[in-house]
Amino acid sequence: MEHLQSKLVSQMVIEMNLQGPPFAALVLLHPLNGSHRIIPNAVVRSKGDKMTYFGHELSKCKDYSSINYRLPFEKGYLVDWDAQKAVWDGIFSSEVLAIDTAMSSLLITEPYFNLPNLQEVYDQFVFEEYEFQSYHRCTPASLIPYGSLFKQPDLPPAECVIVVDSGFSYTHVVPLLNGKVIWNAVKRLDVGGKLLTNQLKELVSFRQWNMMDETYIMNDVKESCCYVSQNFRNDLETCRMNPKSNPIVQEYILPDLTTNRRGRIRQPNDIVAEADQILVMNNERFSVPELLFRPDDIGLDQSGLAATIAQSISLITSDLQGMFWANIGLVGGCTKFPGFRARLTFELQSFAPIDCEVAIYECDEPIIEAYKAAATFASLPGFTNHVVTRAEYAESGSNASRRKFHDWKPREVEKEKPREPTKAKWKQREDDRSQAPNRATKTRNKANSASTATTRRR
């Protein structure tokens, strides 16, 4: 990063589990030149060239057909630490960042409502595996006030804001008061980019081509063709009246793997060869993003996004609710759909009180908005007051993180005691199995205890 914490310590920002290609991704801030780069957070196996790619290596892949993904994140939480380590090893190597982690400070985002056991593994990973000098861990929404999403000229920063974070696994509605998350009012909608891509794969496979194994291609189709309808019933009737020729229908030319030509939307002057495969996108263009506003269309027993935002605001003190209605910000890849903001504004107006103004803010790059805010936060002189150092972790363990990082689940800090060197949790499984007593041992112990008790009674 351009701003150095000191002459010897560089800072690095990693935002995790954002909506990237058809998988969660990492966005990195280079510690020296200040540039950013989006890295696929996955271990990828291509059936075409029979190669395995770790994170940043996916750009070398030439055959994107039938790609298999091993994702560190499942259902929003980091569960595959071996895959995550493989991706991080490549990131810290000379091919990407080329940094010495022992002389670096790290800012990393974590999922909302992250489990305490997973938070401890985060600490172990950062300090025991990579030996970072210090690090800060927080949720993406808590960084947004440091960015430019809500900034307006000649006005002070907004104190009451709501961040709608629609990413890879879920869509979260996160209210913040003076930069701090109001956790009892945070709401989650179980619709994200992964679900939308899978839904599009099923629709296209049922109606046209079998695309169930083509996640990478169908994600590009979703991002290129889909939009949020402003009048779902009218658009649906338009597509039904004339399925092959209407203002909505769009043709997508599938990629040609023999010439390494990428897929694209067919333009009026395009000349289509006989070998080209055409994917006709009709009502799929708007019926897939509609799940964000009508999740019950596929059987999810949840309210739509507008109702979820209204429920979140209703849990806040009534005196402040008007300010939250006037400061709603959009981040995350799913908010990039054309028409998303207009549709959400229209639906929110029916939920908002008459005397409240509904104002929605959006940015040019919602995918990396949290990353840019994190970079600003890391460059502040007071950032060092928010980090946990390697020395603090060596003395107090994860208790140091619980004291410094604002968590969704307040709990008492355990009584401090000198830490003994321990193996990381992901390395203890085999040792635990070998040390576990077998059934015969347990039986002998039980018999010995019984005989001792009988002797004492006598």
Res 63: pLDDT: 78
Beta bridge partners of 10: 104
Res 33: pLDDT: 56
Question: What is the spatial order of strands in the sheet that 51-54 belongs to?
Answer: 51-54, 43-46, 67-70
Res 28: pLDDT: 62
Q: Which amino acid would we find at residue 279?
A: L
Q: pLDDT tens digits, residue range 240-254?
A: 998 888 999 999 999
Question: What is the spatial order of strands in the sheet that 250-253 belongs to?
Answer: 264-265, 250-253, 278-281
The one-character DSSP state at 256 is: B
Res 441: pLDDT: 45
Res 406: pLDDT: 76
What is the C-alpha to C-alpha distance for residues 403 and 416, in angstroms, rounded to an integer? Answer: 12
Q: pLDDT tens digits, residue range 134-163?
A: 999 999 999 999 999 999 888 898 999 999
What is the C-alpha to C-alpha distance for residues 139 and 17, in angstroms, rounded to an integer? Answer: 11
Instruction: Tell me how many degrees the CA angle 358-366-409 measures, rounded to the nearest 5.
Output: 80
What is the C-alpha to C-alpha distance for residues 207 and 195, in angstroms, rounded to an integer? Answer: 19
Q: pLDDT tens digits, residue range 314-326?
A: 999 999 999 999 9
What is the C-alpha to C-alpha distance for residues 71 and 265, in angstroms, rounded to an integer? Answer: 29
For residue 370, which of 1, 8, 15, 6 has the smallest C-alpha distance?
Answer: 15
For residue 223, which of 170, 183, 263 has the smallest C-alpha distance?
Answer: 263
Which pair of structure tokens corresponds to residue 166? 């629609």
Res 341: pLDDT: 97
Long-range contacts of range 114-122, CB-CB < 8 Å, 24 or more positions apart?
A: 114/77, 114/408, 115/77, 116/409, 116/411, 117/425, 118/77, 118/78, 119/398, 119/401, 119/407, 120/398, 120/425, 121/78, 121/81, 121/424, 121/425, 121/426, 122/78
Res 18: pLDDT: 56
374 contacts 109 by C-beta, under 8 angstroms: yes
133 contacts 102 by C-beta, under 8 angstroms: yes
Res 412: pLDDT: 47
Which secondary-structure segment (H or E) carries 264?
strand 264-265
CA atoms within 13 A on the CB side of 416: 12
What is the C-alpha to C-alpha distance for residues 231 and 293, in angstroms, rounded to an integer? Answer: 12
Res 127: pLDDT: 96
Q: CA quadruple 31, 33, 38, 42: dihedral positive or negative?
A: negative
36 contacts 27 by C-beta, under 8 angstroms: yes
Q: What's the N-to-C CA distance of the chain in angstroms?
A: 76
Distance of CA 228 to the CA centre of its chain: 21
For the residues of 45-111, what is the DSSP string, one character each? EETTTTEEEEGGGGGG----TTEEEE-SEETTEE--HHHHHHHHHHHHSTTTT---GGGEEEEEE--
Residues of the chain with pLDDT under 70: 1-35, 260, 409-458
Res 415: pLDDT: 45
